[in-house]
Amino acid sequence: MRPPVPVARAPRLQALAPALVLLTGCAGEPPSRLEARAAEAPARATPATPETAPAGAEAGPKAPVAPRPDGLIRAGKGPTVELRLALHEPTTYQITTVGLVQYPGMPKATGFARREEITLSACEGEGSGRICLLEHRTTKFEAEPPYGKFIEGDERPMRPVTTTHKIKASGERIGDTAIEAPPELADNPAVVALAEVERFYCIRFPEVPVGVGAAWEATCTLRTDGRLARRKVTWEVAKIDEDPDGGGKRVELREVGTFEASDGKNTRSGTFGGTLFFFADAGEPHLLREEINTEVTQQTGLRTAARLNVQFAKVSPDAPDTITRTDGKPFPDAPPEAPADATKAPADAPAGLN
């Protein structure tokens, strides 16, 4: 990991369309203020296509071997670091996802932005034995027309739903996920299926300290493209370095894996890869980048491809309007607010949701 650590700035976000500059980066255009914030933005690249390989496929973990007694499939080298979630109480995370989805047959990729809120409470234990109750809700969602209607259709039943489950410092979910939904959604199959979903993504840490090159495997169940996606993932420590601002060790982890996604009627297979930037001393995730490719039909080889940028932030317990990095440090100053009328916003306006 090279300083400065990647950041998506304080997610005080305004309009969806300009947010796509974060992921598309049109060649030949002068850099916008968003693009100038290079340390925080996703890599400039063309939108994902059905032929695009997962982000971590080439540089990700090697072929797995039999697990070792310490649970790793490969030991690392050099200095080691302990990886675990701090699970401080009280904590409220504000998680903002900006993504591009390329549907097969569609002339262009579709942008979307989602904001989620996760709170931790009823914590017990310390260190690697700490367990908390996690509560999740989706607070905002926008998708770019005209093809965003497909994503919005998948997201609509999720908006009024609250889910809870216990989580360990390793990232593992304990027990089923409890669902609180309005009566009209109580029997909705997509809502009922949330009982299997883990709400802190697929973040998993081993029981032992690890060095660069260490790798381990995990399974988890997420919600991808409106379906339950059962993942098999291999995590690998790519880099360990010191925060130049004195924040302790920072770790870059790579993930690569496969999944089976089902809506209860049909099952699709897929691959994914990505990178997680983690504040090791603080025990907090910072930024997750993923590429996901979902097979539509085996006969044709058509795929839906998605590129996601997931920014973790915290809501200050003393000032609910104040958002900080998960390690407690302030985000860099945001540029001026965009006009209220998003249709008149300049191309370099702040990105994301209201």
Q: What is the pLDDT of residues 91-127, one digit of tens each?
A: 999 999 999 999 988 889 999 999 999 999 999 999 9
Instruction: Give the pLDDT score at 65.
Output: 62
pLDDT for position 6: 57
Q: How big is the chain, counted in residues?
A: 354
Predicted pLDDT at 321:
87
Cβ 76 vs Cβ 213: under 8 Å? yes
Sketch the domain layout of the chain as residue ranges. 49-326
- pTM to 2 decimal places: 0.79
Across residues 290-295, what is the average pLDDT? 95
Can you give the pLDDT at residue 89? 95
- Average pLDDT in the 170-175 region? 96
Q: Are 82 and 97 in contact (CB under 8 A)?
A: no
Band of residue 27 on the pLDDT scale cut at 50, 70, 90: very low
Best-predicted range by mean pLDDT among 55-69, 132-146, 332-346?
132-146
Residue 61 pLDDT more than 60?
Answer: no
pLDDT of residue 1: 45
Please list the alpha-helical segments (H only) found in 232-347.
Answer: none
DSSP lists the bridge partners of residue 251 as 240, 278
String of DSSP letters for 138-175: EEEEEE-TTTHHHHHHHHGGGTT-EEEEEEETTS-EEE
In this structure, are strands 131-143 and 110-124 parallel, antiparallel, or unpaired?
antiparallel
